[in-house]
Amino acid sequence: MKRLWKIFKAGIIYENPLLMLMIGLCSALAVTTNVSNGVGMGLAMTFVMLFSEVIISLFRKVIPNSARMPIFIIVIAAFTTIIDLVMKAYFPELSKSMGVFIPLIVVNCIIMGRVEAFASKEKVLDCVADSLGMGLGYTWVLVGIAAFRELLGNGTLAGLQVMPASFEPILFFILPPGGFLVFALFISLNIWLKGRMQKASAKAEAKAEEVAA
Amino acid sequence: MTKIFIIALLINNVVLMRFLALCSYVGMTSDVGQSVGMGFAVTFVTVLATAATWPLYNFVLLPLGLGFLQILVFILVIASLVQLVEFYLKKNVPGLYAAMGIYLPLITTNCAILAVTFENISNGYSFIESIVYAVGVSLGYLLAMVLLAGVRIRIKNSPVPKFLKGTPILFAATSLIAIAFMGFSGLVK
């Protein structure tokens, strides 16, 4: 149980796909104009990741090594198709506003990366923890960026008016150029975080050495 | 027809306005020559992929009622197409392969190409319109690549604030290019 929790936590913070590993960025920029899109995209990703990892982990001993890439792609594409159809049927508005980015989950490097690096080697339960951690890690960063952009660009959060009426929305943040700028700041935050973490671990090591000496 | 082309090329520029293909946009623009090579390779494959997937969807998948297999079929078709093109070029046109070959494997997972093939279907374009759209989108990609490659030459010799060094400054510059591109939005009514 403790190990599962550790795997889960890694995806949320220490190995967060967007903050730390910096993969799967295209969709993170395109759908973050408002919070509900961010949540929708995040949960769709989590769904595809969860089921792809579980299926591939179940069959990991049967899948021949030389043909693994096409097999992974087929599995991921199947679940992407499912979520695409489900969203079209039950959330037509959300699906419309995200457009082509739902089918594009199939080429999202986060899923392929986790399937290749994790699910093809580990047990099923570990994969459940890993995919949920990674998926929710992706979701919360997405929602964070979306909240920032929606609040400044539209004065709302998930469609609800938050800013006082006197607030003049800064349209720039909703438009594509604003997306790029927010993203630039976001990456510099990421570099700063990484630097701090490295410093902290170096300090801990030095302390451990001191104790040992 | 020109409307589709202009919209795809400038107004809805695939990189600057729609955030597609960002990986190669950042990764392959460290010099101008490289970005042009990648741009033409993408153009080539996008047009080819459109020419293959449009008839496949409209003449095979749709009559059989298998439209829902679109995602699965398209990605497999594009992946195998890129492989075939690579083999063909290697054997028969070594000159072109030397110029373009190294970019081809990277293209398989380029989301712009997959997006174009999906949108041809969802926008209900005819075959000719699809090809025009594919050419427009990929030339827009080429344009964005060359622009950023040019900007990067200048960034190399400029004092960049410490917290923006590396990738962040590229996206900040992209933001400015995107603002310029917003000026095109009135071009087509």
Distance from CA of A80 to the nearest CA of B (A): 8
pLDDT at B50: 94
Contact A77, A84 (CB under 8 A): no
Sign of the torsion formed by the C-alpha atoms of A191, B178, B15 and B38 = negative
Q: Report the alpha-carbon distance of residue A7 to residue B74 in Å, rounded.
A: 34
Tell me the per-residue pLDDT of B39-58, one tens digit each, with 9 for 90 and over. Answer: 888 898 899 999 999 999 99
Q: Give the helix, strand, coil percentages of chain B, each rounded to 5.
A: 80, 0, 20
Nearest 5°: the CA angle A81, A85, A90 is 150
Structure confidence at residue A110 as a pLDDT band (50, 70, 90)? confident
Nearest 5°: the CA angle B178, B119, A69 is 95
Give the CA-trace dihedral at A145, A148, A151, A156, to 10 degrees.
30
Which of B19, B118, B182 lies closest to A29 in CB terms?
A: B19
Tell me the per-residue pLDDT of B22-31, one tens digit each, with 9 for 90 and over. Answer: 878 887 788 8
A interface with B, Cβ–Cβ below 8 Å: 25-27, 29-30, 70, 73-74, 77-78, 80-81, 84-85, 99-100, 103-104, 106-107, 109, 112, 175-181, 183-185, 187-188, 191-192
Q: List all residues 6 or more positions away from A36 whose beta carbon is below 8 Å from its beta carbon.
A: A94, A158, A159
Measured in whole angstroms, the distance separating CA A77 from the mean position of its chain's CA atoms is: 18
Query: Which helix (H) or strand (E) element contains residue A77?
Result: helix A68-90
pLDDT at B145: 92
pLDDT > 70? residue A154? yes
Tell me the per-residue pLDDT of A127-147, one tens digit each, with 9 for 90 and over. Answer: 999 999 999 999 998 998 899
Lowest-confidence region among B30-39, B42-51, B136-145:
B30-39
More confident residue, B103 or A182: A182
In this prediction, residues B71-80 reach a mean pLDDT of 88
DSSP assignment of A131-197 equals HHHHHHHHHHHHHHHHHHHHHHHHSEETTEE-S-TT----GGGTSHHHHHHHHHHHHHHHHHHHHHH
Domain count, chain A: 1
The interface predicted TM-score (ipTM) is 0.84
Find where tokens 């079209």 sit: A88
What is chain B's mean pLDDT, rounded? 87
**Chain A contact set for B21 (CB, 8 A):** 26
Parent domain of A37: 2-212
pLDDT > 70? residue B109? no
pLDDT > 80? residue A23? no
pLDDT at A20: 76
pLDDT > 70? residue B101? no
Burial class of residue B94, CB neighbours in 10 A (0-12, 13-18, 19+): exposed
Structure confidence at residue A43 as a pLDDT band (50, 70, 90)? very high
Structure confidence at residue B151 as a pLDDT band (50, 70, 90)? very high
Tell me the per-residue pLDDT of B166-181, one tens digit each, with 9 for 90 and over. Answer: 888 999 999 999 999 9
Structure confidence at residue A45 as a pLDDT band (50, 70, 90)? very high
Burial class of residue A116, CB neighbours in 10 A (0-12, 13-18, 19+): middle
Lowest-confidence region among A41-55, A80-94, B94-108:
B94-108
pLDDT at B110: 78
Query: How many C-beta neighbours within 10 Å does residue B121 have?
Result: 18
Q: Report the alpha-carbon distance of residue B1 to residue A4 in Å, rounded.
A: 56
More confident residue, A26 or A90: A90
A/B interface, count of CB pairs below 8 Å: 105
